[in-house]
């Protein structure tokens, strides 16, 4: 494959594999560092002794690739904050409530009850420490949004971040672990004292600039809904976007325009190239212009929050700018590999972020597949040709990200090409107009008529996206997709692209084998997806029970119709277990589970005069019962309580079961209970 003929591509792949090994294997840092140094010294001696002949030595190449693997392992371990002796996880936490000095690092999207921040731990009980925490600050009418770099003193109880409580639920704790966040604090305004709000880092100054821009735009007459889109498109901040608007962008297949990425950076670079063209007439213009361009691109990246997508894009375009200045042809595969290499070397955890993966796969799809599709038809009219180019770019990018997108999100927007055909041509105008609006607002000369026009443009964009998203029949949802299927899909795509380029039958055979393997996997999965179990799901203030029989799931619940349609508990289980049919029914008092009986006791607390001894008891809706008497009467082998009960009741039941030596399972602590 031509892509693997580039040395830098091979080195980047080895680096990525090493990072993955560093994450998933518990390797000793000192030993891996010693091995790496030994390999590098050996490679240096090899080079010194053989010089020009070294390229013909297979052993030298092998040593380089192994060394790069080890560098990847070390890069991940060096960034692993837990290995540092000053990290708070290496300190014995004895007290129930602690005193913390915290520095705001990043503001996250708030939930219904709390503002959320990632913070750096400066001190713990007056002891200098380090590490990152998630803090949840209770929403209050008098609460203020804490800026980046704000230094606060807080008193609270350190808590672990809860693991998923239902099967196939999104693991938020694992997501935060990638950011090296392992614990959280719940705070209110009374437990926080603000020490300083002055910025002390480039991120703090960038946040201050964003807040200043928002204040100017707000005073100029922009509404909150319009401001949220401006923040996403131009400033890389999506925290304030309305949930309905965000879902519309997801369902229409245009969510990528709300994440500052290569498309946005490319348009920005084109605008800056045009504006700074006169610099080329200066004596050192060919040095000044690329230097200024790269500086402004990285400033924009910092303002946008240095997300994986914008970091990748700015790194890639910086390399392109340097190559253009040196008058050297910039091969796109080499450029992509170099940008990925640099990013992963300094930010190895980016490898596991969805945005980073989607970003590179989209670009690879565009550069490798789009030219092949575009050659199939060459329109004579300029307008149709431009639309055909946009369509082929969109289609190629979608082919590149579709398999991994199905794996992560389990849905596919069928009308992605319609929405992108309209949105992408106007995105340059929207971004350019938006930059002008921001500049005019900052210098306080933004006229009302420009505010009205730009607000109308943004409202029109949102309206069109909402119109496309309403065609729900074209949105394919709840598609089960496994890692094996992702690998097979990319094998098929790569094989047929290579066959089309080189007409080599080995690639055709590889592609056909991939298709057969994919079909065999589907048949195997459907045939052997035979399992029977009964699940007590965890759902706050409600009860959800599921009886699974192979690919059918019967759900007993007490949710209203609207909550059931929007609830993710059953949807996640259905996708994760590849369930084909789901039916619903009302809750019952007794369930037969193979050779066992489950008695459900609700708020009425009725359990006497039974004709059978139940093996299990499920307590729901906080029944007022004497649990000692129930145990004496029924002698169950286990008692289960779901999340519909008052926590005070659950604690009392738990204490009783501990005293009576009866196993007790509370779903809000231990997760869903599954009878297999």
Residue-wise pLDDT for 194-215, tens only, equals: 999 898 888 888 888 888 888 8
What are phi and psi for residue 644, nearest 5 degrees?
-85, -5
As a whole number of angstroms, the distance between CA 259 and CA 634 comes to 58
- In this prediction, residue 56 carries a pLDDT of 65
- In this prediction, residue 93 carries a pLDDT of 63
As a whole number of angstroms, the distance between CA 203 and CA 224 comes to 24
- In this prediction, residue 667 carries a pLDDT of 95
- In this prediction, residue 669 carries a pLDDT of 92
- The helix/strand/coil state of 2 is helix
Beta-bridged to residue 120, according to DSSP, are 103, 132
Prediction pTM value: 0.86
- In this prediction, residue 518 carries a pLDDT of 92
As a whole number of angstroms, the distance between CA 459 and CA 251 comes to 18
- Provide the angle, in degrees to the nearest 10, between the axes of the packed helices 262-275 and 308-325: 40
Beta-bridged to residue 546, according to DSSP, are 535, 555
- In this prediction, residue 332 carries a pLDDT of 79
Alpha helix (H) residue ranges in 190-348: 202-220, 224-235, 243-252, 262-275, 285-303, 308-325, 332-346
- In this prediction, residue 141 carries a pLDDT of 61
- In this prediction, residue 613 carries a pLDDT of 83
Considering only CA atoms, which of 7, 480, 589, 566 is closest in space to residue 243? 566
- In this prediction, residue 327 carries a pLDDT of 63
- The helix/strand/coil state of 482 is coil
- In this prediction, residue 599 carries a pLDDT of 92
Can you state the percent helix, strand and coil of the chain, rounding each to 5?
A: 60, 15, 25
Q: How many CA atoms lie within 13 A of 205 on its CB side?
A: 6
As a whole number of angstroms, the distance between CA 196 and CA 211 comes to 17
As a whole number of angstroms, the distance between CA 216 and CA 235 comes to 14
- In this prediction, residue 16 carries a pLDDT of 94
- In this prediction, residue 102 carries a pLDDT of 93
- In this prediction, residue 189 carries a pLDDT of 81
- In this prediction, residue 282 carries a pLDDT of 80
Q: Where are the beta strands (DSSP E) in 445-539?
A: 475-476, 532-536
Extract the residue ranges of the chain whose pLDDT is less than 50. none
Triad 488, 491, 496: Cα angle to 5°: 130
Q: Is 480 left (phi over 0), alpha (psi -120 to 50) or beta?
A: beta
- Asked if residues 345 and 75 have their Cβ atoms less than 8 Å apart, the reply is yes
As a whole number of angstroms, the distance between CA 351 and CA 24 comes to 13
- In this prediction, residue 70 carries a pLDDT of 92
As a whole number of angstroms, the distance between CA 583 and CA 579 comes to 11
Classify residue 668 as exposed, middle or buried by CB count within 10 Å of its CB (0-12, 13-18, 19+): middle
- In this prediction, residue 512 carries a pLDDT of 94
- Asked if residues 645 and 667 have their Cβ atoms less than 8 Å apart, the reply is no
């Amino acid at each position: 494959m031509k892509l693997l003929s580039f040395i830098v591509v091979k080195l980047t792949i080895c680096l990525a594999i090493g990072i993955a090994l560093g994450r998933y294997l518990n390797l000793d840092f000192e030993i891996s560092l010693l091995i790496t140094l030994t390999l590098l010294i050996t490679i240096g001696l090899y080079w010194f002794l053989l010089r020009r002949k070294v390229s013909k030595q297979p052993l030298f190449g092998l040593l380089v690739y192994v060394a790069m693997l080890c560098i990847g392992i070390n890069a991940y371990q060096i960034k692993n904050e837990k290995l540092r002796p000053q990290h708070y996880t290496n300190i014995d936490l004895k007290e129930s409530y602690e005193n913390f000095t915290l520095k705001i690092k990043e503001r996250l999207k708030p939930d219904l009850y709390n503002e959320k921040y990632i913070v750096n731990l400066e001190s713990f009980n007056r002891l200098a420490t380090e590490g990152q925490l998630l803090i949840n600050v209770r929403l209050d009418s008098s609460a203020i949004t804490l800026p980046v770099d704000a230094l606060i003193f807080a008193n609270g109880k350190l808590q672990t971040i809860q693991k998923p409580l239902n099967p196939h639920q999104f693991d938020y704790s694992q997501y935060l672990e990638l950011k090296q966040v392992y614990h959280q604090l719940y705070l209110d305004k009374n437990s926080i004292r603000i020490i300083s709000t002055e910025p002390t880092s480039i991120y703090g100054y960038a946040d201050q600039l964003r807040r200043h821009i928002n204040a100017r735009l707000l005073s100029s007459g922009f509404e909150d809904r319009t401001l949220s889109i401006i923040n996403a498109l131009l400033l890389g901040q999506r925290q304030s976007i309305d949930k309905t608007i965000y879902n519309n962008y997801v369902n229409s297949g245009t969510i990528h325009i709300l994440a500052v990425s290569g498309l946005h950076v490319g348009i920005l670079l084109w605008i800056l190239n045009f504006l700074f063209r006169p610099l080329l007439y200066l004596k050192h213009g060919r040095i000044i212009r690329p230097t200024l361009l790269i500086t402004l691109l990285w400033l924009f990246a910092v303002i946008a929050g240095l997300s994986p997508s914008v970091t990748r894009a700015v790194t890639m375009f910086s390399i392109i700018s340097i190559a253009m200045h040196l008058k050297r042809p910039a091969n796109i595969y080499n450029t992509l590999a170099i940008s990925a290499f640099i990013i992963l070397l300094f930010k190895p955890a980016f490898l596991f972020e969805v945005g980073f993966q989607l970003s590179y796969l989209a670009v690879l799809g565009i550069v490798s597949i789009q030219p092949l599709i575009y050659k199939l038809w060459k329109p004579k009219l300029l307008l149709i040709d431009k639309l055909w180019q946009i369509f082929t770019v969109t289609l190629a990018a979608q082919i590149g990200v579709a398999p991994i997108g199905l794996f992560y999100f389990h849905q596919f927007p069928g009308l992605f090409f319609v929405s992108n055909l309209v949105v992408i041509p106007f995105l340059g105008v929207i971004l350019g107009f938006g930059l002008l609006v921001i500049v005019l607002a900052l210098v306080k000369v933004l006229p009302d008529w420009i505010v009205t026009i730009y607000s109308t443009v943004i409202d029109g964009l949102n309206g069109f996206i909402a119109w496309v998203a309403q065609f729900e029949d074209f949105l394919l949802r709840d598609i089960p997709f496994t890692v094996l299927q992702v690998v097979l899909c990319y094998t098929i795509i790569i094989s047929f692209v290579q066959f089309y380029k080189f007409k080599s039958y080995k690639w055709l055979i590889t592609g056909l084998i991939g298709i057969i393997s994919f079909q065999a996997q589907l048949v195997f999965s459907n045939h052997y997806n035979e399992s029977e179990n009964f699940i007590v799901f965890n759902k706050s203030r409600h009860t959800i029970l599921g009886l699974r029989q192979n690919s059918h799931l019967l759900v007993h619940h007490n949710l209203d119709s609207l909550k059931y349609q929007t609830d993710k508990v059953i949807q996640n289980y259905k996708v994760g277990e590849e369930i084909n049919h789901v039916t619903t029914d009302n809750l019952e008092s007794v369930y037969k589970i193979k050779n066992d009986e489950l008695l459900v006791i609700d708020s009425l607390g009725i359990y006497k005069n039974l004709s059978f001894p139940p093996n299990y008891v499920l307590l729901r809706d906080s029944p007022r019962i004497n649990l000692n008497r129930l145990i004496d009467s029924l002698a169950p082998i286990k008692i289960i309580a779901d999340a519909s009960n008052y926590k005070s009741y659950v604690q009392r039941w738990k204490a009783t079961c501990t005293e009576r030596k009866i196993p007790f399972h509370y779903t809000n602590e231990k997760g869903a209970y599954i009878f297999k």
